[in-house]
Amino acid sequence: MFSKLPRNLRKTVGFRLALWYSGIFILSSVLLFALAYFLLSSSLSRQDQQTIQLKLKELSALYETGGMESLKREVTVEKKFEKKAPLLIRVAGSDNKALLLVIPYQWAEFDIKQLERINPTKKMTWIRLPAKHNKNVLEIASVRLPNNYVLQAGKSTEYRAKVQRHFREIFVAVMIPLVLLALFGGTFLAFRALRPVRHLITTIRSIGAGKMDARVPSPQTGDELEELVVLFNGMLQRIETLINGMRDSLDSVAHDLRTPMTRLRGIAEIALQSDQNGETCQEALSSCLEESERILKMLNTLMDISEAETGVMKLDRELIDVSGLMKEVLDIYHYVAEEKNIDIHLTLPPDLSLIADPIRISQAMANLLDNAIKYTPVGGKIDIEARQLKQEILIAIKDSGIGIPREEMPKIWNRLYRGDQSRSQKGLGLGLSLLRAIIRAHKGRIEVLSEPGKGSTFSIYLPAHS
Ligand code: ADP
């Protein structure tokens, strides 16, 4: 039936789902009808047999009390109701020849003579006499009377067959719209159920064609498909952000590399053009070394950031004494702070520890402290505090420095971003990006509060070990 449909359509999940829906619906309906048909048929057949048996009992009781005369009287009365509930009644002698026979006129199709050839032996025997020209059957029950006579009562299956035929006709009449309903319903349901999948395909195609901002419309059904769409859109958003980030980083790297590279070239050119005395060359070489070190540092830090962000960075986690680690970091910046007459105040509980990579955490803390000292004017103040929270360890560095303007706040985490006011200071604009990447790699988070002219507080939250 479906072989003439285009192959592509037959292959679609929608088509197959529609077929399954309709198939199951139709099969269930057929089974339901079949069960009802079976129950109806067996109930009608049981009813007929009970009527016959009752009549036999009644007639044999009459025969026992009033003999053949009584039976004849009863049969005459019976004839009056023949039309309503036709019944065959036959009394045969011991030679099986009929002594009394009442057969409704409409049952002429049965060859009653045949009964003379069937001699019922048991107490109660059932005989099935088929009609001559159709499928009707005369169901006859026989009992032996005390004088060895045979008493028989029977009923044609004609009425039953009529009811069954009527039932089958109803079945066919109901089944045609039911099949149509199942096919349309199945197609509609499959079409609706697969709408998000079609949107997904269209979106993926658009992305393939370069439309990175394409998103799948949410079906708003609250089911697994909506969850899939939300997750898929989230993933697309993340990919787009990452690609944009990479593009921006590449632009920034290219831009930031151009300056030192031009400088390098300039120094080398000047050194070559000069009269090439040893001292000038030496100076030029050391400047080149300085510049190349700066470039190398920038590239290494960029690599570290992407390793930490992509989860490739190897973390050698161990139990760290927070107070000890912070003091070690402070030792490195101690002199710079002293030079600027910055007062550093520590609040570090002695028994605070966490599980992390000591080198990476030191690097992150050094970046924070370096910034705090760099962006705090002479005579300022820095507070370093560490504290155990419910499930986290908080390390906060608060300075009384220049602060960060509100509009710069979202950008400070970007690679190679440098604030307007900070250009006079040395730096690559990578410290905070690396810090955040390292903290995130440790499943931690970082928050910043800042007020221009008053200072900034960077708070790091790392998971406490259990
Ligand atoms: P860098 O310090 O090399 O410029 P960072 O990534 O460490 O790069 O910081 C990015 C920017 O964030 C800085 O240029 C500066 O504008 C701002 N910033 C960071 N820390 C502070 C701070 N403690 N006080 C004021 N501004 C800060």
pLDDT at 122: 66
Question: 419 in ligand 1 pocket by Cβ < 6 Å?
Answer: yes
Distance from the CA of 240 to the center of ligand 1, in angstroms?
A: 26
User: Among residues 304, 423, 324, which one has the least CA distance to residue 374?
Assistant: 423
Contact 462, 392 (CB under 8 A): yes
pLDDT at 405: 95
B/e letters for 312-329, b = 16+ CB within 10 Å, e = fewer, are ebebeeeebbbbebbeeb
Distance from the CA of 382 to the center of ligand 1, in angstroms?
A: 15
Distance from the CA of 418 to the center of ligand 1, in angstroms?
A: 6
Question: 371 in ligand 1 pocket by Cβ < 6 Å?
Answer: yes
* Residue that the structure tokens 């009811």 belong to: 163
Distance from the CA of 340 to the center of ligand 1, in angstroms?
A: 18
Nearest-CA residue for ligand 1 atom 1 is 429
Residues 29-48 pLDDT 10s: 999 999 999 999 999 999 99
Nearest-CA residue for ligand 1 atom 20 is 371
239 contact partners, CB below 8 Å, separation of at least 6: none
> What DSSP string runs through 332-347?
HHHHHHHHTT-EEEEE
pLDDT at 389: 93
Query: Could you report the average pLDDT of every consecutive run of 10 residues in the chain (466 residues)?
Result: 60 82 89 94 93 90 86 77 74 86 83 83 82 88 86 90 92 90 87 85 90 86 86 90 81 83 88 75 87 90 88 90 95 94 94 94 95 95 95 96 95 90 87 95 96 96 88
Distance from the CA of 335 to the center of ligand 1, in angstroms?
A: 20
Distance from the CA of 334 to the center of ligand 1, in angstroms?
A: 19
Residues 70-91 pLDDT 10s: 888 887 776 766 556 688 889 9
Question: 427 in ligand 1 pocket by Cβ < 6 Å?
Answer: yes
pLDDT at 365: 96
To test ligand 1's pocket by mutation, which of 294, 411, 430, 432 has the most ligand atoms within 8 angstroms of CB?
432
pLDDT at 443: 94
Contact 356, 386 (CB under 8 A): no
Write the burial class of residue 430 (CB in 10 Å: 0-12 exposed, 13-18 middle, 19+ buried). buried
Question: 372 in ligand 1 pocket by Cβ < 6 Å?
Answer: yes
Q: What Å distances lie between residue 280 and 229, 274, 291, 292, 457, CA to CA? A: 65, 8, 16, 18, 46
pLDDT at 8: 67
What is the amino acid identity at position 407? E
Nearest-CA residue for ligand 1 atom 23 is 372
To test ligand 1's pocket by mutation, which of 249, 344, 375, 458 has the most ligand atoms within 8 angstroms of CB?
375
Distance from the CA of 337 to the center of ligand 1, in angstroms?
A: 17
Question: 402 in ligand 1 pocket by Cβ < 6 Å?
Answer: yes
